[in-house]
Amino acid sequence: MIRCRTGLFLGIVLTGCGPIYDGDPAGQVVEQLRDRFVGSEPVASAAPPVTRELVAANPGSYLLVTAADGETTAAMTLIAGQGTRRTFMSADQISVTVDRGVIVATRGFPTDRMASELRGVLEAIAVGGGTAERVHETLDGLDQIKTELLQCRIALAGAENVEILGEIKAAAKVTEDCSGSNSSFSNVYWISPDAGIVKSRQWVAPLTEMLTLASP
């Protein structure tokens, strides 16, 4: 197949055809420069294709992830597991790794959580309160790993019903307020007595910011 790339530069339409131009970033450069100097357009959202029937057939295999804008949602499928960690990936190859519902890593977002160490976070969530520490790794603009130590306070914030894919679950609401040298955020977890964290709103990293996760 012959593909052509089109871009607009200083009012001149630029199109390249042929295998050499496959994956050519010229058009993207133009878009990025336009975004940088003119401002960007919001991106359209996509609806999740996961149904109750699919979930019933493969329990624990799906994660619904909504981006910080509250509109873009992706249905992710379980693709790997090690110990208590589970990695879910969307069809467009974005992945989230959680440890019993708490995000420990992401890939494919503009800024990823490269790795995490949770020191007492899971335990404090389980008992509904306490203090904990986190260590987060991100990749900076110079491709170097940046490590941040965060102090966190976990507290029970009452009970709420949450709706996930048409099903209503009773859950305890737990908040986690963390602050470190570069970021501070408030995570919220909804914990069902039988299934653990079923829904959450969690910080990932600058630019990507908060993700909402739901386990149907």
Residues in contact with other proteins, counted by CB under 8 A, come to a total of: 65
Q: What is the DSSP letter of 144?
A: -
Instruction: Tell me which residue of 116, 101, 127, 130 sits closest to 180, measured CA to CA.
Output: 116
Q: Angle at Cα 12 formed by Cα 11 and Cα 18, nearest 5°? A: 145
Token pair in block for residue 80: 């790997």
In the complex, what is the shortest distance from the CB of residue 205 to other proteins, in angstroms, rounded to a whole number? 8
Asked if 59 interacts with other proteins (CB under 8 A), we say no
Asked if 97 interacts with other proteins (CB under 8 A), we say yes
In the complex, what is the shortest distance from the CB of residue 174 to other proteins, in angstroms, rounded to a whole number? 21
Q: CB–CB of 34/27 below 8 Å?
A: no
Q: Figure out which of the listed residues 72, 73, 175, 183 binds other proteins, where binding follows CB under 8 A.
A: 183
- Contact region with other proteins (CB under 8 A), list: 141-149, 159-167, 171-179, 189-197: 141-149
Asked if 62 interacts with other proteins (CB under 8 A), we say no
- Contact region with other proteins (CB under 8 A), list: 47-55, 123-131, 140-148, 157-165: 140-148
Binding mask 194-213 for other proteins (x = CB under 8 A): ------------xxxx----
Q: Which residues contact 56 (CB under 8 A, 6 or more apart)?
A: none
Q: What is the dihedral sign for C-alpha 7, 9, 14, 20?
A: negative
Token pair in block for residue 98: 């959680």
Q: CB–CB of 199/187 below 8 Å?
A: no
Q: Figure out which of the listed residues 11, 42, 49, 141 binds other proteins, where binding follows CB under 8 A.
A: 141
22 in helix, strand or coil? coil
Binding interface with other proteins (CB under 8 A): 5, 9, 12, 14-21, 23-26, 28-29, 31-33, 36-37, 39, 79-80, 82, 85, 87, 89, 92-95, 97, 104-112, 114-117, 135, 137-145, 147, 183-185, 206-209
